[in-house]
Amino acid sequence: MANPSGTTQDLRFQADETPSYPVSFGLAFQYILLNIAGIVITVAIVVRAGGESELYLTWAAFAALIVCGITTLIQAKPIGDRIGAGYILLMGTSGVFIAVSVAALQRGGPALLATLIVASSLFQFLISSRLSLLRRFITPTVAGTVIMLIAVTVMPIGFDLSFLAPEGAARGAAPLTALATMAVTVVIVLRARGALRLWGAVIGAVVGCVVAAGFGIYNMEIVGDALWFGVPAAGWPGFDFGLGPEFWAMLPAFIFGLGPEFWAMLPAFIFVTLVGAIETIGDGMAIQRVSWRKRRATDFRAVQGAVAADGVGNLLSGLFATVPNTTYSNSVSIVDITGIAARRVGVCIGLIFIALAFFPKAAAVLLAIPDPVVGAYIVVLIAILFVLGLEMVAQDGIDYRKATIIGVSFWIGAGFQSGQIPSDYFGWAGPLLENGMTSGGLTAILLSTFMELTGPRRRRIETSLNVEAQPKIQEFLERFAARAKLSEETAHRVSLAAEETLLVLLDQIEEDDALGERRLRVTARAEGGGAELEFLAAAGEGNIEDRMAFVGTHAAEMPVEQDFSLRLLRHVAAAVRHQKYHDTDIVSVRVEAVG
SS3 45: helix
How far is residue 357's CA from residue 196's CA, in Å, rounded to a whole number? 30
Contact 178, 340 (CB under 8 A): no
- E strand or H helix at 93, and its extent? strand 91-93
Question: Distance between the two ends of the chain, CA-based, in angstroms?
Answer: 40
pLDDT of 242 reads: 39
Helix axes 371-394, 21-49, angle to 10 degrees: 100
Which residue spans within 465-529 are E strands per DSSP? 519-527
Superfamily of domain covering 457-591: Histidine kinase-like ATPase, C-terminal domain (3.30.565.10)
Rounded to 5°, the CA angle 492-495-500 comes to 125
Contact 533, 287 (CB under 8 A): no
How far is residue 444's CA from residue 137's CA, in Å, rounded to a whole number? 9
Q: What is the pLDDT of residues 474-489, one digit of tens each?
A: 999 999 999 999 999 9
Contact 127, 307 (CB under 8 A): yes
CA distance to 296, 549, 561, per residue, from 556 (Å): 20, 13, 11
Which residue, among 457, 433, 364, 377, has the nearest Cα to 149 in the 3D structure? Answer: 433
Which residue, among 524, 374, 502, has the nearest Cα to 36 in the 3D structure? Answer: 374
Return the amino acid letter for 200: G
Q: What is the pLDDT of residues 303-333, one digit of tens each?
A: 999 999 999 999 999 989 898 988 988 788 7
How far is residue 260's CA from residue 249's CA, in Å, rounded to a whole number? 16
- The single-letter DSSP state of residue 131 is G
Rounded to 5°, the CA angle 453-456-462 comes to 90
Strand 459-464 to 519-527 pairing: antiparallel
Helix axes 140-162, 260-290, angle to 10 degrees: 100
Residues of the chain predicted below pLDDT 70: 1-9, 45, 48-49, 54, 99, 193-199, 222-227, 230-265, 267-268, 362-367, 396, 428, 432, 509-517, 539-565, 595
Report the greatest alpha carbon distance in the chain: 81
Calculate what percentage of the chain has a pLDDT beyond 90. Answer: 21
Q: Answer whether 0.95 is exceeded by the pTM.
A: no
How far is residue 301's CA from residue 171's CA, in Å, rounded to a whole number? 51
Torsion angles phi and psi, residue 10, rounded to 5:
60, 30
Is the dihedral angle over the CA atoms 387, 389, 394, 399 positive or is it negative?
Answer: negative
Report domain extents, the chain.
21-167+222-451, 457-591
- E strand or H helix at 191, and its extent? helix 173-191
pLDDT of 509 reads: 67
How far is residue 480's CA from residue 305's CA, in Å, rounded to a whole number? 37
- E strand or H helix at 590, and its extent? strand 584-591
